[in-house]
Structure 1
Amino acid sequence: MTFLASEEELKHLSEPVDIHLEATALHQRVIRDGGPALLLKAPRSGARVQFAASLLVNIFGTRKRVANGLGVHPDQLPDLGRFLAALRAPEPPASLRDLPSLFPVAKAGWNTRPKKVAASKDLHDVAPNLSSLPVQTCWPEDAGPLITWGLVITRPPGEDDPRLYNLGIYRMQVLDGQRAIVRWLPFRGGAQHYRQWQGKGQAMPVAVVIGCDPATLLAAVIPAPGNISELALAGIFNGRPARLAPCRSIQMHVPEGAEIILEGEIHPDETAVEGPFGDHTGYYNDPADYPVFHLKALRMRENAVYLSTFTGRAPDEPSVIGEAMTDLFRPILQQALPEILDVFLPPATCSYRFAILKLDKSYPGQARRAMMGFWSLLPQFSMTKYVIVVDADIDIRNWDEVMWAVATRSDPERDLLVLNSTPVDQLDFASPREGLGGKLGLDATIKIGSETARPFSKKLVMPRDVETRAEGLFRKLNSPKCVESPRL
């Protein structure tokens, strides 16, 4: 928060704000205007006005704050993405002269190993009661209060080895003071660890951190390159190894700078109905069974802040983060498919459900190859339902241009690629079956070679010198010294 305050990116609000709906409505209004992070110093719930922490929202509400959380300026996000791509598949030096270029990669490798430190003396044990925290109820028909920025830390059975940890932002429905439901999709790391503990018939230790350094939070939500863990990624972003302190009641470690720590366990065969909750789709999701977390210990700092957000139709913090993260995974995509010049995931389409690829096309069928490669590269991209591929001359962030390419360069009989029974988001109500549905690829590129029997006509392009001259005339036309209108 000190950094946010120094950048004039934080505002304090002392007036009481109800954690039931009102905090979400305020957050919505602020994020629409690209506003600051908010520290709500008097969160209340109805008549109750006393909680163990103040409420902090909207810390990642702008692209600038997302970039700052990763330790860079917004303009440096593409450079960071290229660096991550190099970590995923470093190129050997062509000569001894190129060896210095490998030093940043080697240093990053050193920072990937977490370091264990002593427990912080600034953390204090308090009565383990989730009701003491200002947990929001975000939408009118939500099933209950929801922990939205909980950094859930899990590990596989066996020795406590932080190198094997999974960090994920999984929402948690609070059932009562000691229980909460953890919702994770089957392919997520936490769910994989849970199945391993289930196989042994043992309770799984789980730590939940609410509030820590921004890089660790963001490392838990972005697509990591290769097999780099979230803690390793956090070490790379922070420029030093992640520092982990031991838990008190379970055999696990958590980030040293944590504000609030929930320690507990999940029993192998206990589930409860989670939901419905408002989600990024703009709809409520269906209720479903998920594991139950049992709170054993609660530790927090003096004057701790409870970090929270809401999830809904864009703009929300996940959509802002997703748009900024495109700069990080674009180089990884280009590393696998160099002919892809750019990629855009429109936030209004729930971020990852719709992708537009700009292609440097040179041979027939290349657009379809790009679609298949995109869907296969990262687990997140397997959830993308629609992919449109356009040529290099199209501005993929201009919907009018994309639709012009679709209207003039594609034919439904030839250029639609339809896939059946593929993995889709479980929250996608448009799919006929939960978690299983179709995908549509649309080739909106100019057809070449064997793709067509008809040559394309030339695109209308005005000569550059004529455009320059017309621009100068236009400025004169709108200047105060414009020629007088002719007299009638």
Structure 2
Amino acid sequence: MRTLPSYPSLRSFLDWCATSDQFQHVPDPVSVTHQMTAVHRAVLERRGPVLQFDHPLLIGGAKSTVPVVLNLFGTPERVAAGLGVTLDGLDDLGAFLAALRAPTPPDGLRDALSRWPMLKAALATRPKIVKSAQVQSVVSKGDDVDLMALPIQTHWPQDAGPLITWPVVVTRPHGTEAAEVGTYNAGVYRAQVLDHNRLIMRWLPHRGGAAHHQSWARQGEKTPVAVVLGADPATLLSAALPLPESVSELTFAGALNGSRPRLVPAKTVPLMVPADAETVLEGWVSPSELAPEGPFGDHTGYYNPAEPFPVLEVSAITHRKDAVYLSTYTGRPPDEPAIIGEVFNTLALPTIRAQIPEIHDLWLPPAACSYRMAVVSISKRYPGQARRVMLALWGMLPQFSYTKMIVVVDEDIDPRNWDDVAWALATRMDPARDVMLLDNTPMDYLDFASPQPGLAGKMGIDATTKIDSETSREWGTVMRMSEEDAGFAADLVARLMPGAGG
């Protein structure tokens, strides 16, 4: 499955970026307050390299000795590389993910042998527990804990304060042991810095970390948590992937890397943590204490309002001697989450097709916040099929419950080409007949257009060719050149206009 070298740590991936001319040092002093985000956004919009700010300026202007790394996944090529493949290898990886969700028994010995790579990948998920690790070279506990010494960014002018944006938050449910790594959840949740030893954990109710916290809170107990900063790319992306609930993100990272993940016991909480990370914040989340988180700029391009979320008290900070701090920003696309979403769109296609086989292609436009809108092309065979596909998508994955508009087109339309989609809407869709509206359906509460927080309408637009009982009129015939004439024209134009693009 993996076609690129294994990157067991963030710095090994940065080395690969450097050797492929995708890494650049920034020697200038740059403030973590707003300035770094402005530089990051400008470079990301140009599909530029990974940046390492060697001399970050902390709040108040003091220089930090901890470099800041930004724009790690600023191009689809680097996201794919973090998964261990080139862009043209995403289809095979997507098929592997689909098989995880719905495995089928082998059809004879030959089929069983053909699945050996998948079996090998599954074996690679067994973690290797080590007794010591570089991430614990320096340990600060108690009064020595100081989050304000880290170069944590304040991204936007109206943000409430410093915000950790690339943490891999590790939890386990109540009633399990620290050694039961298969029960762990690793999610990417933003964390607001309250003071020198407290964070606010913004995990939404449907996320795994929140479910684990509730299992501890029901017993009146604090939840052990490890916030991993600067994990290896496979762990970072596994924490963001919509994996089946039965698959642990930490162990799945081993399958992506093609090697067993190395874990080490945390110093002050009963959890295992990635041994090759840059920094780990250990702590306990209160069963009852809440604090207002936000406002912060979000992926919608708006500031979300302050809302209460649980408070984590940091009991220890462990890190490498020469640790770097990995960060990013969220905002109106383009941002790194939107670029990651482009790649995940490709990865999700085999899983979606396994459930809805008539889907030919699907695109979640990054400009529409990566999930608010979907354009789907189908192989249409019967009346009403477009509507069935819309309803199936909305009910298939939790992520699609927040997709408020689905446009369905025929397979001769490229869903990623707005000109194609506009032509289909203009010539194959009648607003009175082909628009389906639903109300009071689940919606991301950050959607300010919704009449009520968490509830909104949905629109489905059938822009397919109408067949049989869908229309009483004879449908038009699409104009197309013959392949022979098109080839003749292409050859002639190439001679008439040598060197012209297109």
TM range (shorter): over 0.9
After superposition, what is the alpha-carbon deviation per residue over 1:82-118, rounded to whole angstroms, capped at 9, x for unaligned?
Answer: 1111222223333323221121222222223333221
Q: Quote how far apart the aligned CAs of 1:3 are.
A: 1.8
Name the TM-score, length of structure 2 as normaliser.
Answer: 0.93
Q: Which residue of 1 aligns with 2:110?
A: 97
- Superposition pairs of residues 254-333 of structure 1, within 5 angstroms: 254-333=273-352
Q: Which residue of 1 aligns with 2:439?
A: 420
Letter in 1 for 2:128: K
Alignment check: 8 A CA contact 1:85 1:225 kept: no
Aligned equivalent of 2:486, options 467, 475, 482: 467
Q: Determine the C-alpha separation between the residues in 2 that align with 1:365 and 1:442.
A: 12
Alignment check: 8 A CA contact 2:280 2:317 kept: yes
Q: Determine the C-alpha separation between the residues in 1 that align with 2:73 and 2:377.
A: 28
Alignment check: 8 A CA contact 2:58 2:64 kept: no
Letter in 2 for 1:149: W
- Superposition pairs of residues 8-23 of structure 1, within 5 angstroms: 8-23=21-36
Aligned equivalent of 1:110, options 123, 131, 136: 123
Letter in 1 for 2:20: E
Q: Quote how far apart the aligned CAs of 1:173 are.
A: 0.9
Alignment check: 8 A CA contact 1:273 1:290 kept: yes
After superposition, what is the alpha-carbon deviation per residue over 1:353-391, rounded to whole angstroms, capped at 9, x for unaligned?
Answer: 111111011111111111112112221111111111100
Alignment check: 8 A CA contact 1:171 1:182 kept: yes
Q: Which residue of 2 aligns with 1:132?
A: 149
Q: Quote how far apart the aligned CAs of 1:16 are.
A: 0.3
Q: Quote how far apart the aligned CAs of 1:223 are.
A: 1.2
Letter in 2 for 1:152: V
The count of aligned residue pairs is: 480
How has the CA–CA distance of structure 1 residues 102 and 479 changed in structure 2, closer, same or farther, with 3 Å as cutoff?
A: closer
Letter in 2 for 1:2: D
Q: Which residue of 2 aligns with 1:26?
A: 39
- Superposition pairs of residues 439-458 of structure 1, within 5 angstroms: 439-458=458-477
Q: Which residue of 2 aligns with 1:146?
A: 163
Q: Quote how far apart the aligned CAs of 1:236 are.
A: 1.2
- Superposition pairs of residues 72-471 of structure 1, within 5 angstroms: 72-121=85-134, 123-126=137-140, 127-158=144-175, 159-160=177-178, 161-225=180-244, 227-471=246-490
Q: Determine the C-alpha separation between the residues in 2 that align with 1:284 and 1:162.
A: 36
Letter in 1 for 2:209: G
Name the TM-score, length of structure 1 as normaliser.
Answer: 0.95
Q: Which residue of 1 aligns with 2:7?
A: none
SS at 2:390 equivalent: helix
After superposition, what is the alpha-carbon deviation per residue over 1:105-138, rounded to whole angstroms, capped at 9, x for unaligned?
Answer: 2222222333322131552113311001000010
Letter in 1 for 2:46: D
Aligned equivalent of 1:42, options 40, 48, 55: 55
Letter in 1 for 2:297: G
Q: Quote how far apart the aligned CAs of 1:167 are.
A: 0.5
Letter in 1 for 2:27: S
Q: Determine the C-alpha separation between the residues in 2 that align with 1:455 and 1:91.
A: 44
Q: Determine the C-alpha separation between the residues in 2 that align with 1:194 and 1:47.
A: 35
Alignment check: 8 A CA contact 1:42 1:49 kept: no
Q: Quote how far apart the aligned CAs of 1:10 are.
A: 0.9
SS at 1:105 equivalent: helix
Segment drifting more, 192-201 vs 25-34: 192-201
Segment drifting more, 32-41 vs 419-428: 419-428
Task: Give RMSD over aligned pairs.
Answer: 1.5
Letter in 1 for 2:193: V
Q: Quote how far apart the aligned CAs of 1:9 are.
A: 1.2
SS at 1:273 equivalent: strand
Letter in 1 for 2:300: T
Q: Which residue of 2 aligns with 1:483?
A: none
Letter in 2 for 1:412: P
Q: Determine the C-alpha separation between the residues in 2 that align with 1:78 and 1:376.
A: 24
Letter in 1 for 2:138: H
Alignment check: 8 A CA contact 1:88 1:226 kept: no
Identity %: 50
How has the CA–CA distance of structure 1 residues 479 and 214 changed in structure 2, closer, same or farther, with 3 Å as cutoff?
A: closer
Alignment check: 8 A CA contact 2:134 2:319 kept: no
Q: Quote how far apart the aligned CAs of 1:303 are.
A: 1.3
SS at 2:465 equivalent: coil
Is 2:24 aligned against 1:5?
Answer: no
Q: Quote how far apart the aligned CAs of 1:46 are.
A: 5.3
Aligned equivalent of 1:70, options 80, 83, 97: 83
Q: Determine the C-alpha separation between the residues in 1 that align with 2:431 and 2:306.
A: 37
SS at 2:299 equivalent: coil
5+ long unaligned stretches in structure 1:
481-488
How has the CA–CA distance of structure 1 residues 185 and 121 changed in structure 2, closer, same or farther, with 3 Å as cutoff?
A: closer
Q: Determine the C-alpha separation between the residues in 1 that align with 2:387 and 2:128.
A: 45
